[in-house]
Amino acid sequence: MKIFLDTANLESIRKFNDMGLLDGITTNPSLMFKEGGNPKDAMEEITKIIKGDVSLEVVSTEYSGMMEEGKRLRQYGENVVVKVPMTPDGLKACKSFSSEGIPVNVTLIFSANQALLAAKAGAKYVSPFIGRLDDIGQDGMKLIEDIRKIFDHKHYEIKTQILVASVRHPVHVVDAAKIGADVVTLPPAVLDKMMLHPLTKIGLDNFLADWDKLKSGNPDIQI
């Protein structure tokens, strides 16, 4: 399963990219607003840092505006995936972009029906928002299971990838991986938590303490 970072924060992107953990980036207008500054500068830098897909989102709600903005976004780099909302105009734009060879991420998916329609329109990615479904008492992971079952049906040839979004905690990541999601996109805080376990720290502290004891009797010893 690929891991994308869901952020426009350049420091976080560089940090996790240097660890070799990132396969791509997803952004949206809210994330750009959170970071402040000129979004153009951020988008230029992100597409330089990341070699994988970078989803940049349109803000127009009408087809013509989406097409105009999407083509401008693609100028930031060949790795740009145009992100459009799950609306009738968004599906129309998805079809047009995909027919021109421009990859599309259809976002704000909350049902298997929406995911199926986005796939029919040629989306490279569908982005179901599992955390927001959990927030209203629905089972976000059940949606991922349903989409996976549909996309994998032997009678279909759906190549659209399931990009699990609105991830709130590391358990979401494990569940998505077990279901067989293609991609999970994470806030930096969740990716940080995935690396931590109290027993790892305890074990490391014990190893270092024993090494210090060993070295105290043999000051010249080295690894």
Question: Does 34 map to a domain?
Answer: yes
Mean pLDDT of 117-137: 98
DSSP assignment of 128-151, as one string? EBHHHHHHTT--HHHHHHHHHHHH
Cβ partners under 8 Å of residue 44, min gap 6: 76
User: Could you confirm whether 83 is annotated as catalytic?
Assistant: yes
Confidence tier at 221 by pLDDT (50, 70, 90):
confident
Characterize 98-127 residue by residue with b for buried, 16 or more Cβ atoms within 10 angstroms of its Cβ, and e for exposed. beeebbbbbbbbbebebbbbbbebbbbbbb
Catalytic residue among 34, 40, 48, 83: 83
4-51 confidence digits (pLDDT tens): 999 999 999 999 999 999 999 999 999 999 999 999 999 999 999 999
Q: Is 52 helix (H, G, I), strand (E, B) or coil?
A: coil
Give me the CATH number covering residue 38.
Answer: 3.20.20.70
Range of the domain at 47: 2-192
Question: Does 206 map to a domain?
Answer: no
158: alpha, beta or left? (left if phi > 0; alpha if psi -120 to 50): beta
Note the pTM of the prediction, 2 decimals: 0.94
* Start-to-end CA span in the chain (Å): 36
When divided into structural domains, the chain yields a total of 1
Distance CA(68)–CA(47), nearest Å, equals: 19
The lowest-confidence range among 45-59, 151-165, 205-219 is 205-219
Q: Is the pLDDT of residue 220 over 90?
A: no
The C-alpha angle 85, 91, 94, rounded to 5 degrees, equals: 90
Question: Does 211 map to a domain?
Answer: no
Question: Does 32 map to a domain?
Answer: yes
Question: Does 215 map to a domain?
Answer: no
Q: Is the pLDDT of residue 222 over 90?
A: no
Q: Is 182 helix (H, G, I), strand (E, B) or coil?
A: coil
Q: Is the pLDDT of residue 218 over 90?
A: no
Burial class (CB in 10 A: 0-12, 13-18, 19+), 92: middle
Q: Is the pLDDT of residue 127 over 90?
A: yes
64-117 confidence digits (pLDDT tens): 999 999 999 999 999 999 999 999 999 999 999 999 999 999 999 999 999 999
Supply the DSSP symbol for 168: -
Q: What is the largest CA-CA distance in the chain?
A: 75
Question: Does 208 map to a domain?
Answer: no
Q: Is the pLDDT of residue 217 over 90?
A: no
Question: Does 200 map to a domain?
Answer: no
Which residues on neighbouring strands pair with residue 165, listed in sequence order? 129
Q: What percent of the chain has pLDDT over 90?
A: 94
162-205 confidence digits (pLDDT tens): 999 999 999 999 999 999 999 999 999 999 999 999 999 999 99
- The dihedrals phi and psi of 168, each to the nearest 5 degrees, come to -105, -20
